Structure 1
């Protein structure tokens, strides 16, 4: 008999207890993640479910969630077509686009896509990046491999498949195809890469191939507890629940809007924020009261795709975790249920259809 998988309230209490007991290692666990047109969910038994454009074998019905890995601890998506999973033993596994060696190998066939999970690294705490991959290890060291672009921060070494150490004492990393931002254990922020409209937050528009210190003086005595990046922009979450940003999304256009945001600038439209998740065209905010708010373009931001972005609006309540894909969103609720909304042309909502929805729909997980 088929059994539906539900995350119990008891399991959520277990998560909170483990976070308190284990410190920063488990604090990086992610139970929902989103890629370009794909979704990931880690259930209480350590099973990783995926759906959408997963880049796995094509004989699978991608509009319905299916298990791809077991014994896992964290799931991580990407704005590019690849997925990563951290297993319970700390090993990093991945599949999807490896045209720049993102999976530790460059394939000459299958258009550069790896369609079966492959072990990439040991003792990993978190991972971020697109063509260039950054892995934060359990000892606080930051490693990089993949495309030798400006966001690498290691002078563009050409042996793309071999990880190189970039920095010590790192707490968090967030990287795009253009720039990278790091939060160190001492609370300082460092950034490198393209800085066309001020994404590095250094007060100027000078690009840098080496880490430069982010100007956090506008935050006063408040500490940054989360960083989130996308093309040309950096978002910072402070310990008082305020959100700050620098840069501008029009990274592929000439010139920048006026005024420039060359240092972190406070967002006056949102407060009491607990977590941020960025899609390619929309923003998600999880507030401390469990409510989720969205803004930006398209159905992932609660409206049909338009040339003018939607304002900030409430999506749902009772949420503990969020994730943003290119044009869809995922939320894990306190009761253990998983909900999605946004575009669905490749089955990324997981409801068995290809019909998009601006209203959250529940995803069901059924073991074979």
Structure 2
């Protein structure tokens, strides 16, 4: 799918009434601290981190954010037009609000206008936009509070895309549901929409899955990587600019470790710490110069990449030394480098060496420090940065979850 002249994906990847505008004047909020490079600012950020509950999982949708602290509670904030926050309303929230009273939330992911999360008992829950059945509850009705997906208690991981969702189970099976207009469910083209999970093939060796706008990629326990769905920009990595209705292996490499899917591009790391990207490169989101790539291309020669997450047209990744790097579209400051300049090579975010897991990226970005502190930056049009304002930020600022 093409993009508008202002760089925003059309139709389902944005609410049509929204445009990128200058945010309202900034309100002083003592609970939010920008990353500092001086000793005094660093000390302040450390004090703020100590005051906030440690975060174990974070997810970024188009205009909302959700996070799970180590105590198993769930908090969301930002735009809520479709009920994506899960608080039982469709009212936006400028600061984190707790979702329900459960303390067993474990993993979470956000799509464009919906959210899905797994609890420690292996159950899967989804809420928000459901126009293509992406919540998996058998309907196409939006939900403003979490609804359980089936009765299975063996869900292991989940990935929410624009209008489809995929998840793995502990038995190694893979399941997808929602829109199948571009064969992104991996079950052939005969199904147009699936409102409940359908199994992808019969393999029992699936390890992880990542959903993009209309394509899906997944790794297996043998280190192979498979992709399917739309490849009009080469995002499947199999050397074609067409569709694949069922999982197709990406090359012959058996050392793939992590994979992430953006709007029309894909990136992945290998066991040797190298990073590879392919697909659309209109904003430099592949981390290299040039046009689109239909097969994986290595990003630089670094062998210390550890975790990666792709947004709509940008990506961020952490290294084993704790540094954080971002590249691609930077129109809302989502790269966190203090500018709104697009980058075609990984650009370091500040000087901190304490970034760890929990990356999340949309037109805003969030990441977690080793102390569990959560930091967000970029687009804040719907208060998705959780700082009580609608002020866009081009550098990370800490989000304080209520203790």
| TM-score normalised over the length of structure 1 | 0.82
Q: Within the alignment, does 1:62 sit opposite 2:93 as a pair?
A: yes
Q: Which residue of 1 aligns with 2:156?
A: 125
What residue ranges of structure 2 are gaps of 5+ in the alignment? 1-49, 284-288
- Contact 2:134–2:163 (8 Å) recurs in 1: yes
Go from structure 1 to structure 2 and tell me whether the alpha carbon gap of 1:164 and 1:79 turns closer, same or farther (over 3 Å shift). closer
Structure with the larger helix share: 1
Q: How does 1:1-368 map to 2 (within 5 A)?
A: 5-7=52-54, 31-54=57-80, 55=83, 56=86, 57-58=88-89, 62-69=93-100, 70-105=102-137, 112-121=141-150, 122=152, 123-128=154-159, 129-149=161-181, 150-156=183-189, 157-158=191-192, 160-167=194-201, 168=203, 169-217=205-253, 223-249=255-281, 261-268=293-300, 270-296=302-328, 297-298=330-331, 299-301=333-335, 302-305=337-340, 308-309=342-343, 311-315=345-349, 316-367=352-403
The Cα shift of 1:342 comes to 0.9
- Contact 2:134–2:195 (8 Å) recurs in 1: yes
Q: Which residue of 2 aligns with 1:16?
A: none
Go from structure 1 to structure 2 and tell me whether the alpha carbon gap of 1:281 and 1:205 turns closer, same or farther (over 3 Å shift). closer
Supply the distance in 2 between the matched residues of 1:135 and 1:173 (Cα, whole angstroms): 7
Go from structure 1 to structure 2 and tell me whether the alpha carbon gap of 1:228 and 1:161 turns closer, same or farther (over 3 Å shift). same
Helix, strand or coil at the partner of 1:280: coil
Helix, strand or coil at the partner of 2:146: strand
| Bigger shift: residues 153-162 or 208-217 | 153-162
| TM-score normalised over the length of structure 2 | 0.75
- Contact 1:73–1:87 (8 Å) recurs in 2: yes
Deviation string, structure 1 residues 5-32 (Cα, Å, up to 9, x no partner)? 4229xxxxxxxxxxxxxxxxxxxxx611
- Contact 1:199–1:247 (8 Å) recurs in 2: yes
- Contact 1:99–1:106 (8 Å) recurs in 2: no
- Contact 1:303–1:310 (8 Å) recurs in 2: no
The Cα shift of 1:245 comes to 1.4
What residue ranges of structure 1 are gaps of 5+ in the alignment? 9-29, 252-256
Q: Which residue of 2 aligns with 1:18?
A: none
The Cα shift of 1:262 comes to 2.3
RMSD: 2.6
Deviation string, structure 1 residues 90-111 (Cα, Å, up to 9, x no partner)? 1011110111111234667xxx
Helix, strand or coil at the partner of 1:321: coil
The Cα shift of 1:180 comes to 1.3
- Contact 2:216–2:228 (8 Å) recurs in 1: yes
| Bigger shift: residues 31-40 or 152-161 | 152-161
Go from structure 1 to structure 2 and tell me whether the alpha carbon gap of 1:159 and 1:33 turns closer, same or farther (over 3 Å shift). closer
Q: How many positions carry a matched residue from both structures?
A: 331
- Contact 1:48–1:68 (8 Å) recurs in 2: yes
